[in-house]
Structure 1
């Protein structure tokens, strides 16, 4: 399999896509000459193009959860001509396994789920307790016969390529300093329960600016409202040192700018995993979701969480839908954690 071609059916979310890079890095260790292509949604392709292990990024033309049989069949016909030796299917849905089957890829690997016995001819039965972290479940698909996480090789963490030229250009475009910049990532998918409250972010930003830092607030267009809410809570004289970037940067620009920050404070989000993958010191704030399942894969990260277990909630009971466990994390705790990761 040393010179084989492998097609990865990639995850649909930024954080999951970042964690899947550990699989690609492991495949390259085991088979240095293999060629890896990733089929993924457009919004993830900016990440894939910063993964040196990947030969080609292929656009997934079908929306998340949509069948569109004809579209899948046409794409499969194109992929069949590329002569893949193996497909590794990372999502657990029936639909995600259709294209490799339609493309008649000889070896089709993935965890069993949603009646995929016919579509996968190298199925694996997942014992979730044996693989407690998502990244372990991805890396386990690189080999055979691995029954628990303790049998895996050492996890190679995600590492994205940073463009020095792109970084300089982005810093100039958004009028950001090359030093003394702290990043905040106040957004998170699946609702406000995963978010540290805007007023805590504002208090932290104010303290940082008072200490001579400038603050860049990252996020998607959906996060622009909360970023503006944070800015509005700052004293007038501090607002010039606060840079709201939500919805203004491309994903490659966000990668380069997060790498330019001296530290990042973030919710459990895709951008948290990006910050970890560019090795920026970070403080990750968790509430209902569990850092035992999707931790930042970095030795320069500190996690703050005040509760145990996993709670499947998308909206907390407190004001604005925040979860009480996130409200209880105080800005002083986060500031102390920031000082510790910077001191490392």
Structure 2
């Protein structure tokens, strides 16, 4: 059986989609699974053993371009896929499998996709509260799974593969000391500081950890570099060499390997948080206005800290420097306690 998956365009969603690939491979061991997704996803897909090939989606996230999608679909006809799974809910995401003439095209009904999908499922959000459950449900025939309670347990959570040799080589490439274990911080988040734990809290936690014999690696994109610099600047001068700002300095492939080499990770709600969970790293995940109810970190080694309930759609925090008060209220002491507990469990 040959399967084409139209994958998501966000890091966290892409990570959770691996649960579908793992489930399909478990159900159909001989299946060949290709995933079409933005080219930046390749470093993630290449570490998912269930995926045969990552096919770059050359069109932008918001581009309709029906003509180009038709050409893309026609170019895939010779591959003779038996099934397609369309994970985004948009109209345009269902066009390529339709033009590729794939016999069975499965997905949640989404926006006006009648005809494009011939195996369209109607989503009852209450029956499928988690995104990962919605992805996994598509691996089963229509009507077989009525709710998340019907899915076989435990779910096959995302798991990226990184070798020990790769970890050692990447640590050497970025000149991390072998004298101290590395704790990773992911201080960035989409939509700015409202969903970030304050930089001064990260600095206070880093100060404690460096005093305990750790070194700190700060991960993120180029837009998170300033936040990383703020964290380092808030440290005592003698400790600053033990805190490295890698935000914007690493390709995604390098960041994945370095996160895998970390002893543990502290992260805001972000794509890197989901990567850390998929790498099975002890993880403290910090939530404010965004909610873990739909897309929690999928790991038994993850601890979520959140002081409020419900979802709060915000783009600007009401606290100092644009931070959300619910994140300001999470103290470095609380995070350190959770992290210490995770590290102690890791040693046992």
Tell whether 2:136 aligns with 1:135: no
Partner of 1:150: 149
CA–CA separation in structure 2 for the residues paired with 1:60 and 1:314: 29
Deviation, structure 1 residue 26: 0.4
1: CA distance, partners of 2:326 / 2:312: 11
2:67 maps to 70
Q: Which residue is equivalent to 1:18?
A: 15
Q: Distance in 2 between matches of 1:184 and 1:98?
A: 39
TM-score relative to the length of structure 1: 0.97
The 8 Å contact of residues 66 and 92 in structure 2, kept in 1 or not, is answered as no
Deviation at 1:323, TM superposition (A): 1.0
Task: Tell me how far 1:299 sits from its aligned partner.
Answer: 0.5
Give the Cα–Cα distance (whole angstroms) in 1 for the partners of residues 114 and 271 of structure 2. Answer: 31
RMSD: 1.1
Is the 1:136–1:149 contact (alpha carbons within 8 Å) kept by the matching residues of 2? yes
**Separation (CA, whole Å) in 2 of partners of 1:114 and 1:74:** 22
Deviation at 1:24, TM superposition (A): 0.5
Alignment partner of 1:184: what SS? strand
Q: How many Å apart are 1:137 and its aligned residue? A: 0.6
For the 8 Å contact 2:82–2:104, the answer to whether it is kept is yes
Paired residues of 1:167 and 1:253 also in contact (CA < 8 A): no
The equivalent of 2:340 in structure 1 is 339
Residues 109-118 or 188-197, more deviating: 188-197
Q: Distance in 2 between matches of 1:74 and 1:164?
A: 42
Gaps of 5+ in 2: none
Q: Does residue 1:93 correspond to 2:99, yes or no?
A: no
Moved more, 295-304 or 246-255: 246-255
**Alpha-carbon contact 1:84-1:105 (below 8 Å) kept:** yes
Taking structure 2 as the reference length, what is the TM-score of the superposition? Answer: 0.96
Give the whole-Å Cα distance in 2 for the aligned partners of 1:164 and 1:40.
28
Residue 170 of structure 1, CA deviation: 1.4
Structure 2 residue matching 1:142: 3-state secondary structure: coil
Residue matched to 1:247: 248
Number of equivalenced pairs: 341
The yes-or-no answer on 1:40 pairing with 2:37 is: yes
Give the Cα separation in 2 of the matches to 1:123 and 1:192.
38
CA contact (8 A) 1:166 1:253 kept: no
User: Which residues in structure 2 correspond to 1:1-344 (within 5 Å)?
Assistant: 4-144=1-141, 145=143, 146-154=145-153, 155-178=155-178, 179-344=180-345
